[in-house]
């Protein structure tokens, strides 16, 4: 069959799905995206640190990142509890925003092939075809289905029902603050930097990103923070996920529903453990969000006529900042394998062999970087690992960098 007539379905229209869809389309596949959410997805993410692997995939997908992908940062620094700079590290890097990436990818893919409000419920496959069945009773057929439906993937659940995200033992408080709303001390000491503060067993980090509508003008940007704190699964996590009405949310809680007492406690804890600059940052954050941290590893990424990409296959803790680059490279590798191998099964096997090893390495690396985010250690080995990764020097030279994949 000539390559132009091949049809692909991508389940999930977020960043991973759009990378896969845009690349498949450019490789000649007639590609349609089916996204569960019925409205625009923008606004769901915050800051994203860029990597060469991400920029390469954006260009291949036809989403021209140009010269203004985000805010350029030269240096990293760590502040102590009193706000003094205790260590610096030169590390040029560009930070962009989730919205900006999503918009670039949306612009590179035809809107009439992107179907909103379509929730996949099941897949059926035969020798010849794969059929996606949706909650509204409709269905779609293709030679290939790509599961890019995130860490609670319906596609993965069907083929690997035993694979579940595993709670890492800590949460991240996250927030985005308008540059113009930053108190002067925070603007001066944090805004130009990828900045850290390292209370025992915790980690606060922040970096500048574009403002609303991708605004990169000074004064119109935003500062993004992520504050990791241990939270015991059976007690603290349950309390954090309990809303004003007493309802306990599973996995995550919508930001507006976070209980006022939880926010008040978080603010008072920030005064206890963080540098004054970071306290100010947290204090002026209008709507913090809470993100329990999980690990997810799939033993397979391909099945007959099916591929898993992005968070559907592997979720690493955010310390390596590699989720978008990983999803992008999953998609690149898949499309390259489909181009090299005429046989679909052989292409899927080639894709899986290449990417499963990378997924494992990223998850393992992120687990090591996060190993000190806990209050108790069970073995001397655990404690030694944690000590190795919690110094300012280690944190600044390892966080949000993918160098280890190139070694």
* 276 near ligand FAD, rule: CB under 6 A: no
The Cα 90–Cα 230 span in angstroms is: 29
When asked if residue 322 is in the footprint of ligand FAD (CB under 6 A), the reply is: yes
In this structure, are residues 133 and 139 in contact, taking their beta carbons and an 8 Å threshold?
A: yes
Q: Does 132 bind ligand FAD (CB under 6 A)?
A: no
Instruction: Give the number of other CB atoms < 10 A from CB of residue 115.
Output: 16
Select from 244, 82, 94, 98 the least CA-distant residue to 174. 98
Of residues 66 through 105, those in contact with ligand FAD by CB under 6 A are none
Residue 211 interacts with ligand FAD (CB under 6 A): yes or no: no
Q: How many CB atoms lie within 10 A of CB 74?
A: 11
**Phi and psi angles of residue 329, each rounded to the nearest 5 degrees, phi first:** -75, -30
Question: Does 202 engage in binding with ligand FAD (CB under 6 A)?
Answer: no
Closer to ligand FAD at the Cβ: 130 or 400? 400
Helix, strand, coil distribution of the chain in percent, nearest 5: 40, 25, 35
Q: Which is nearer to ligand FAD, 124 or 343 (CB)?
A: 124
Residue 175 as a binder of ligand FAD (CB under 6 A): the answer is no
The least CB distance from residue 70 to ligand FAD, in Å, is 11
CB of 87 to ligand FAD, least distance (A): 21
Q: Which stretch binds ligand FAD (CB under 6 A): 44-52, 80-88, 250-258, 369-377?
A: 44-52
Binder among 123, 324, 331, 366 for ligand FAD (CB under 6 A): 324
Residue 335 lies near ligand FAD (rule: CB under 6 A): no
Structure tokens at 25: 């389309």
For ligand FAD, give the closer residue by CB, 101 or 186.
101
Of 5 and 287, CB closest to ligand FAD = 287
Determine which residue in the list 8, 23, 29, 45 makes contact with ligand FAD, applying CB under 6 A: 45
Of the residues 9, 21, 48, 302, which one makes contact with ligand FAD according to CB under 6 A: 48
Q: Which two tokens stand for residue 164?
A: 């579940």
Q: Is 36 in the site for ligand FAD (CB under 6 A)?
A: yes
174 binds ligand FAD (CB under 6 A): yes
Least CB distance to ligand FAD at residue 72 (A): 15
Select from 9, 53, 100, 150 the one that contacts ligand FAD (CB under 6 A).
150
Closest CA to 165 of 150, 179, 187: 150
Task: Candidates 6, 10, 17, 253: give the one binding ligand FAD (CB under 6 A).
Answer: 17
Q: Are 231 and 374 in contact (CB under 8 A)?
A: no
- 317 vs 310: CA distance, rounded Å: 13
Stated as kind and residue range, the H or E segment containing 374 is none
Task: Give every strand in the sheet of 139-142, ordered side by side.
Answer: 120-125, 130-134, 139-142
Q: Are 348 and 337 in contact (CB under 8 A)?
A: yes
Backbone angles phi, psi at 165, to 5 degrees: -65, 140
Q: Which residues bind ligand FAD (CB under 6 A)?
A: 11-17, 34-37, 41, 45, 48-49, 119-120, 148-150, 154, 172, 174, 226, 291, 310-312, 318, 321-325, 327, 400
């Amino acid at each position: 069959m000539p390559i132009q007539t091949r049809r692909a379905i991508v389940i999930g229209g977020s960043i991973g799905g759009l990378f896969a869809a845009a690349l498949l389309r450019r490789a000649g596949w007639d590609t349609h995206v089916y996204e569960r959410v019925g409205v625009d997805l923008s606004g769901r993410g915050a800051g994203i640190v860029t990597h060469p692997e991400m920029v390469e995939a954006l260009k291949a997908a036809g989403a021209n990142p140009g010269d203004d992908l985000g805010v350029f940062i030269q240096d990293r620094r760590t502040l102590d509890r009193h706000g003094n700079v205790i260590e610096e590290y030169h590390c040029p890097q560009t930070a962009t925003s989730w919205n900006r990436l999503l918009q670039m990818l949306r612009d590179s893919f035809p809107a009439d092939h992107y179907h909103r409000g379509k929730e996949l419920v099941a897949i059926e496959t035969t020798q010849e075809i794969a059929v996606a069945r949706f909650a509204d009773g409709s269905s779609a057929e293709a030679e290939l289905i790509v599961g890019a439906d995130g860490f609670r993937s319906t596609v993965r659940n069907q083929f690997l029902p035993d694979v579940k995200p595993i709670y890492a033992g800590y949460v991240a408080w996250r927030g985005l603050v308008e540059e113009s709303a930053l108190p002067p001390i925070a603007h001066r000491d944090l805004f130009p930097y990828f900045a850290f503060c390292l209370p025992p067993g915790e980690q606060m980090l922040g970096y500048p990103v574009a403002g609303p509508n991708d605004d990169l003008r000074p004064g119109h940007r935003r500062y993004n923070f992520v504050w990791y704190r241990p939270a015991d699964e059976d007690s603290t996590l349950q309390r954090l996920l309990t809303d004003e009405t007493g309802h306990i949310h599973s996995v995550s809680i919508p930001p507006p529903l976070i209980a006022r007492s939880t926010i008040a406690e978080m603010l008072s804890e920030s005064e206890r453990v963080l540098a004054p600059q970071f306290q100010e940052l947290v204090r002026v954050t209008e709507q913090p969000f809470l993100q329990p941290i999980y690990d997810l590893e799939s033993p397979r990424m391909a099945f007959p006529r099916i591929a898993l990409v992005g968070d559907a296959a592997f979720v690493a803790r955010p310390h390596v900042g590699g989720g978008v680059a990983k999803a992008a490279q999953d998609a690149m590798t898949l499309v390259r394998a489909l181009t090299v191998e005429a046989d679909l099964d052989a292409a899927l096997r080639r894709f899986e062999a290449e990417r499963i090893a990378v997924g494992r390495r990223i998850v393992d690396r992120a687990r090591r970087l996060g190993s000190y985010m806990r209050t108790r250690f069970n073995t001397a080995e655990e404690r030694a690992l944690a000590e190795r990764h919690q110094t300012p020097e280690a944190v600044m030279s390892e966080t949000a960098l993918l160098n280890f994949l190139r070694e």
